Chains A and B, each alone.
Chain A
Amino acid sequence: MPALTLSHVTKQFGHATNQVTVLEDINFSATAGEVSLVLGPSGSGKSTFLTIAGGIQTPTTGQVQVQDQSLGQLTTKARDALRLNKIGFILQAYNLVPYLTVQDQFSLVDRVKPQGNLSAADLSALLDQLGIGQLTQQFPAELSGGQTQRVAIARALYQNPDIILADEPTAALDSARVAVVGQLLHDLAKQHHKAIVVVTHDLRLRDFADRIYQIMDGQMTVA
């Protein structure tokens, strides 16, 4: 069974005359153990696709299925719980709570979900791998764009989710860091059996993907 399935998903914004269709009949599935890469130019609907897949935005029509649960049939509360336990989100912007230090971003997760998170040792290894081990006492405003992005990645992984949804996780990173992040996502899929979906226009990530899709004018095709 795929970890994540979108069937006949469309998304429209606006009403009547100025209505735009951003996604048109999208059919997509992601499997545990694989990295799926969705490429597309700016404005093609990548973020819309990803946020619908993770249930923080509802599709106009169509179904989203996470493991055996259909998002449309869940209550808001159940959907929040599903995100907390199964889905790690790396959003394009605005991932961190501005008044929490890097360390507290993780502590907050411990408070609402005491079990199943990374151990302290694993977290510190992850932070070191991402090159942000020294930044735990900083507030988000004190981080650079690339550092923020890496903290957001660590935060999403900390919950140890089955599915990781990443929106432009490498936008602010140099090539060396891109390789680190790409390898990290690849290893998570292979060694920890995660389903990973990355939407990006960063072609440098192609080397780490098992499947590559193209999104263009609201249509998704296999590249």
Chain B
Amino acid sequence: MFLALREIRHEKLRYGLIVGMVVLVSYLVFVLSGLAYGLAQQNTQAISSWGTSKIALNSDANESLSQSLLTTATTDKLALSDHEAYIGQAGVVAKAAGQPKLSAQFVGLQAHQFVARNLKVTSGQRPATARQILVDDSFHDNGYRLGDRVQLNATAGKYTIVGFTHNAKLSVAPVIYGSLGTWRTLSHVTANFKASGVVSNDAHFAPKTAGVQTLTRQQFINKLPGYSAQNTTFTFMIAFLMVIAMVVIAVFLYILTMQKLPNYAVLRAQGIPASVLVKTTISQAMLLVVSGLVIGALLTAATVLALPAGVPMSFNLPLLAGVTVGILLTGVIGALIPVRLILRVDPVSVIGG
């Protein structure tokens, strides 16, 4: 550490620039992966928040909840326990006097079932009647307030917002929770139809009823419109970004060490053990990369606070930890490659007599 710190102190500008570069690269990686992950989350937040592990749909629905309809004749045969709940999904446009129109996903629930019971209300309360709705926070961000009377599509009558909930997004649209009756109205179906599908938080839920297909949560999510394509795009984008970030940082540290080889040759001529040079290089590279990563993370946190609430950003900690460790490791390896060089050759060949 002695040599590493003395050198940084003596060459503040150079090391400042290296740290700045690590800051920018890690900031880029953090923010972009946060945005990508945030968007991916918006496809599935609601489904995840219910604690879904299985989902049963009409087997002709092409594995899509919004295309699925279950008749009462079918649902009567399902023998549901209190681990299952009916879900009726319908795309709607919400509007209220003086507020912007919002495209949303209506989710009809049965009040006593587990999904409705477990909804987390951030303000207000759960709907108690068919004319009351619980809506995602993003309605609040768009100016909607408790007590606002909302019209859904062109249907008659208004629905009153009685509560807000957090992280309720389905297919990147905010969710409006209401009753199954409202869902029937919005979907223009008769009382012969019970719901779009059934979700279960029991991993063993597997009804054998004809005309019903059961999917795992992941199978269902992968079939959400556009979800897989979007995820593949983002996965590749982030992977490329990470690889390039790691290579860039490794190259910078490589160049940094290359420039120090004459100094290392002098030290070796003096008999300073190779292990000291290796330790110095590692500790210095770690110090630079870690401070860059920390500042990058702080900047990212500041950005999250500064961004408008509507911008989806969410962080996958294992992914970020992987990125961080990857950058750190490649940085150290980049810095060490030239050191290996000087430990093999005669010091004089580097400094020349």
Q: Which of B51-59, B125-133, B259-267 contacts A (4 or more CB under 8 A)?
A: B259-267
Q: Is there a chain A Cβ closer than 8 Å to B273's Cβ? A: yes
Instruction: Classify the interface of chain B: helix, strand, loop or mixed.
Output: helix
Chain A residues near B353 (CB-CB < 8 A): 47-48, 51, 91-93, 167
Inter-chain contact B271/A85, CB cutoff 8 Å: yes
Nearest opposing residue in chain B for A86, CB measure: B271
Q: Which of A97-105, A122-130, A185-193, A211-219 contacts B (4 or more CB under 8 A)?
A: A97-105
Choose one: A48, A82, A94; the contact of B262 (CB below 8 Å): A94
Q: Is there a chain A Cβ closer than 8 Å to B296's Cβ? A: no
Interface residue total, chain B, C-beta cutoff 8 A? 28
Nearest opposing residue in chain B for A139, CB measure: B10
Q: Is there a chain B Cβ closer than 8 Å to A111's Cβ? A: yes
A-B contact count (CB 8 A): 85
Chain A residues near B269 (CB-CB < 8 A): 54, 56, 83, 89, 91
In residues 66-99 of chain A, which contact B (Cβ within 8 Å)? Answer: 76-77, 80-85, 87, 89, 91-99
Complex CA–CA separation, A4 to B269 (angstroms): 17
Chain B residues near A109 (CB-CB < 8 A): 270
Q: Is there a chain B Cβ closer than 8 Å to A171's Cβ? A: no
Nearest opposing residue in chain B for A98, CB measure: B263
Q: Least Cβ distance of A21 to chain B in Å?
A: 17
Chain B residues near A100 (CB-CB < 8 A): 3, 6
Complex CA–CA separation, A96 to B262 (angstroms): 10
Q: Is there a chain B Cβ closer than 8 Å to A58's Cβ? A: yes
Q: Least Cβ distance of B153 to chain A in Å?
A: 72
Complex CA–CA separation, A99 to B23 (angstroms): 25
Q: Is there a chain A Cβ closer than 8 Å to B343's Cβ? A: yes
Complex CA–CA separation, A84 to B2 (angstroms): 18
Q: Least Cβ distance of B340 to chain A in Å?
A: 12
Choose one: A56, A82, A139, A167; the contact of B346 (CB below 8 Å): A56
Inter-chain contact B343/A76, CB cutoff 8 Å: yes
Complex CA–CA separation, A107 to B2 (angstroms): 10
Nearest opposing residue in chain A for B263, CB measure: A97
Complex CA–CA separation, A82 to B2 (angstroms): 23
Inter-chain contact B10/A84, CB cutoff 8 Å: no
Chain B residues near A175 (CB-CB < 8 A): none
The digit string for B105-125, where 1 denotes a CB below 8 A from any CB of A, is 000000000000000000000
Q: Least Cβ distance of B263 to chain A in Å?
A: 5
Inter-chain contact A83/B3, CB cutoff 8 Å: no
Given A57-B346, A91-B353, answer yes or no on A98-B272 (Cβ-Cβ < 8 Å).
Answer: no
Q: Least Cβ distance of A89 to chain B in Å?
A: 5
Q: Least Cβ distance of A162 to chain B in Å?
A: 13
Nearest opposing residue in chain B for A158, CB measure: B270
Complex CA–CA separation, A204 to B117 (angstroms): 100
Determine which residue in B262, B267, B268, B347 has the highest number of CB atoms from chain A within 10 A of its CB, and name it: B347
Complex CA–CA separation, A80 to B343 (angstroms): 10
Q: Is there a chain A Cβ closer than 8 Å to B274's Cβ? A: yes
Q: Is there a chain B Cβ closer than 8 Å to A180's Cβ? A: no
In residues 1-35 of chain B, which contact A (Cβ within 8 Å)? Answer: 2-3, 6-7, 9-11
- The 8 A-B residue pairs with the shortest CB-CB distance, nearest first, are A84-B271, A83-B271, A99-B10, A47-B353, A57-B348, A56-B347, A99-B7, A57-B346
A interface residues, Cβ below 8 angstroms from B? 47-48, 51, 54, 56-58, 76-77, 80-85, 87, 89, 91-100, 104, 107-109, 111-113, 139, 155, 159, 167
Q: 7 new A-B pairs (CB below 8 Å) besides A77-B273, A80-B271, A107-B2? A: A76-B274, A76-B344, A80-B274, A83-B270, A97-B263, A99-B9, A99-B10
7 A-B residue pairs with CB within 8 Å: A47-B353, A51-B348, A76-B274, A91-B269, A97-B3, A100-B3, A167-B353
